[in-house]
Amino acid sequence: MSPLEDALARWEPVIGLEVHAQLETDSKIFSEAPVGFDVDHPNTHVVAYCLGLPGTLPVLNRRAVELAVRAGVALGCTVAEKSVFSRKHYFYPDLPKGYQISQYDQPVCLGGGLEITGDDGTARTIHLTRIHLEEDAGKNLHVEGAPYTLVDYNRAGVPLAEIVSEPELRSAGESARYLRALRAILVALDVCDGNMEQGSLRADVNISLRKRGTTPFGARVEIKNVNSFRFVEQAIEHEIVRQARLLEGGERVPQETRLFDSTKKVTRSMRSKEEAPDYRYFPDPDLPPLVIPKEWISSARSLLPELPAAMIARWIAAGVPDESARTFAEEREVARWFELALAAHPSGAAGIAHLVKGEILRELKDDPAAITKLSPETVAELVRLKEKDAISSTQQKKLLGEIWKNGARLEDLMAAEGGQVDDRGALEALVDQVVAAHPSEAASARAGKTQVIGFFVGKVMKSSGGKAKPTLVKQIVEEKLK
């Protein structure tokens, strides 16, 4: 039994996620400064307000509010017709004003929930506490060996929606599935680009342990800014083992904020939270209450696109394997591309999915969005040709590779390649050559080792350049080796 399994035999994790989603706006939440990732020069996407200069005033970005409302209605939240922006006071070099503008006791969205598959395989709803709007902080750059720290304010003021779940998750796996499902919805809505590597979507994990069969919560530990599904799972699993060892050793778990070291796969202490910090919240005097008309909310609800869960169910009903459907739905560009391919060949859903999952996405593992460089209609036609036995599987892969790497036209390739070879006389001659070249394998096949048949089929297919009709080749091989 592993340390994790041992801990889980006696302790139940209680987990909640606070997910920060960077909203897809052109400018920051309270100023006209542009939003952008990996800007060439620090402190270039800033205006006077971003630097907290005296006399500057915030102006709320309408688009950020629209996106928060869109997310709220999609997640079943109650959208507040009136919400308030507050100042959250604390000092840190990347917070030039000395406070962060956020929402406290009157957020823009309350309640809601998200359905996931639990560890037992059944569907369960993870309820949300709230969604609130806030501005991001800047970025500290710690120069190794230098007696100073640099600060880049390009990120200061970038609009964020913080989506807070109830502490209803009970495992690392459930937490990762919740985050995947949430990301898929936000990406499908064009609310957030979902790029976790760049920090557009990141999660604070709150976790405590309690004895199995009991109800009181234990001391809560927060793990800050975890930016991948795998890291969320690893951080939670490490923390379960760490907290269980403390509790079983008679020690208490200190309430604190920790960071996850993705190299060593451990969490380490960042700061204590034994006492609740006094952020001295009060309504920002420079921002009036946010009043959202009912018409806005109704319009957002009526304009919602098909959400990933419904899309996945529709694809599965059309013959797409469950895992493939969920993979495609997680990436906005892949999902939209796949829909175009299905429109070009509605009855070929399973074949298109097989080609996308097995060949295309494998090549695009670092950049799934690059699938848009490939024509969905061309891929649909490749599947149609294979279904008609006009080309073999080997030819299909070969043609796809030529189209992808060289930008060749399918029509030109087919004219040069020719169709699938199903001339029995020609194939019998190929089979005879291959059998004669491998007498020991032929003897094994005749002795009853039927698995050797596949060996000969593969050799014949290779000899034919992938053009031979596989079913006919197999039939001829079996006849020759009886």
* Alpha-carbon span 176 to 245, nearest angstrom: 24
- Which strands, in side-by-side order, build the sheet including 282-283? 99-102, 86-89, 282-283
What three-state secondary structure class fits 13? strand
- Would you give the DSSP letter of residue 35? P
Q: What predicted TM-score, i.e. pTM, was given to this entire model?
A: 0.85
- Nearby residues of 297 by Cβ (< 8 Å), 6 or more positions away: 69, 73, 79, 81
Using alpha carbons only, what angle is made at residue 380 by residues 376 and 400, rounded to the nearest 5 degrees?
80
- Residues 231, 260 contacting (CB under 8 angstroms): yes
Q: Which residues of the chain have pLDDT under 50?
A: none
Phi, psi of 225 (to 5 degrees): 50, 55
- Residues 168, 206 contacting (CB under 8 angstroms): no
What three-state secondary structure class fits 77? coil
What three-state secondary structure class fits 190? coil
* Alpha-carbon span 5 to 157, nearest angstrom: 43
Domains and their CATH numbers in the chain: 3-296 (no CATH), 306-417 (no CATH), 424-480 (1.10.10.410)
* Alpha-carbon span 402 to 41, nearest angstrom: 40
